[in-house]
Amino acid sequence: MSAATPTAPATKPGADEGRIGLRANLRHIGALVRRNALQIKQDPESMFDALLMPVIFILLFVYVFGGAIAGKGQQQEYVQYLVPGMMAMMGMNIAMAVGSGVNEDFRKGVMDRFRTMPIARSSVLIAKIVVEVGRMLIATTILLVMGFLLGLEIKGGILPFLGSVALSTVFGAALMWIFILLGLSVKTPQAVQGLAMLVLMPLQFGSSIFAPTASMPGWLEGFTKVNPLSNLADAARALINGHGAVAHPALITLGWAAVITAVTMPLAVKKFRTKT
């Protein structure tokens, strides 16, 4: 009787993650980024929110609310106020879609397949973040193009302007970890969207994104001061318009981004490993 051919023992998902080096991890992330990008190419409808949402929102707020907030015939002045604030809103809305996408991938079994592969579990989620940051930058670009068409001016210079885009991107990427964790924690994409809206609506409208906070009730004005979206909007507004405090709101925004990432990223990766 011939000797049986030895077979390799089955690898427990995640068992070799600690031995994966940085170069291999980056290679895995790159491969997964290409996979996610090809998925968008095969399903171009998934880009509709990034392409159309900025156009609809800026036209809606400028021409429906602009006259009431800035005064009749002062829509251009309102554009100068609104567009930097809406950069913060783009990050939140794109981040919400990340959670729904992760949840849907689990429901289809895609994530289970990834967890059987000898790759770092974090690389799957980081690749998702990279692609969604790209979608967020596309949405932000369309928003800014629409703003320029409606009269937006860069009064603070090119470098501060680019700084406002970078600040919005960093904060938006941090928010994605919250929604990934949410997507891994609830049962359906509809539940992700429903819970996300409960968070998004108070944060967006209880902020300085759409209107100055001076006319708000005292309790609400106090909330806007600690709302990270207000600080991001104020910092982006000061950088683009060339006046106003920048350092304080920018540091608060970066602090929020660091704390959110430090807390939710490990929780999301742990949940990804153990989700059944």
Q: Is pLDDT above 80 for 114?
A: no
In a domain, 163, yes or no: yes
Higher pLDDT, 223 or 258: 258
* Ranges 29-33, 115-119, 153-157: which has the least confidence: 115-119
- For residue 53, tell me if it sits in a domain: yes
Distance separating alpha carbons of residues 113 and 94, to the nearest angstrom: 25
**Residue 273 and residue 121 in contact, taking contact as beta carbons nearer than 8 Å:** yes
The answer to whether the beta carbons of residues 103 and 96 sit under 8 Å apart is no
User: Which pLDDT score is estimated for 264?
Assistant: 94
Residue 1 domain flag: no
Q: How confident is the model at residue 71 (pLDDT cuts 50, 70, 90)?
A: low
Domain count, the chain: 1
At 28, list the tokens: 């895995």
Q: Span 247-262, mean pLDDT?
A: 94
What contacts 125, CB < 8 A, 6 or more positions away?
102, 180, 268, 269, 272
* 40-50 pLDDT tens trace: 887 777 788 88
Q: Is residue 8 one of the residues assigned to a domain?
A: no
**Whether the predicted pLDDT of 10 surpasses 90:** no
DSSP 6: P
Q: Which domain holds residue 120?
A: 21-274
Lowest mean pLDDT among 107-111, 132-136, 225-229: 107-111
Comparing 77-81, 108-112, 257-261, which segment has the lowest mean pLDDT?
108-112
What is the pTM for the complete model shown?
Answer: 0.84
3-class secondary structure, 118: coil
Residue with the larger pLDDT of the pair 198 and 17:
198
C-alpha span between 124 and 111 (Å, rounded)? 8
In a domain, 3, yes or no: no
In 186-244, alpha helices (H): 189-205, 218-226, 228-241
CB atoms closer than 10 angstroms to residue 197 = 11
- Please give the Cα distance from 85 to 169 (Å, whole number): 13
Residue 6 lies in a domain: no
pLDDT of residue 218: 84
Please compute the mean of the pLDDT values over residues 237-246 and round it to a whole number: 90
Q: ∠ CA(212), CA(214), CA(217), 5° rounding?
A: 115
Whether pLDDT at 1 is above 50: no
**Given a cut of 60, is residue 205 above it in pLDDT?**
yes
Residue 275 has pLDDT above 80, yes or no: no
Instruction: Give residue 256's pLDDT.
Output: 95
d(CA 249, CA 256): 11
d(CA 70, CA 91): 25
When the pLDDT of each residue in the chain is averaged and rounded to a whole number, the result is: 84
Task: Give residue 68's pLDDT.
Answer: 74
**154, 240 in Cβ contact below 8 A?**
yes
For residue 6, pLDDT over 80 is answered with no
Residue 228: predicted pLDDT: 92
The helix or strand, by DSSP H or E, that contains position 168, with its residue range, turns out to be helix 158-185
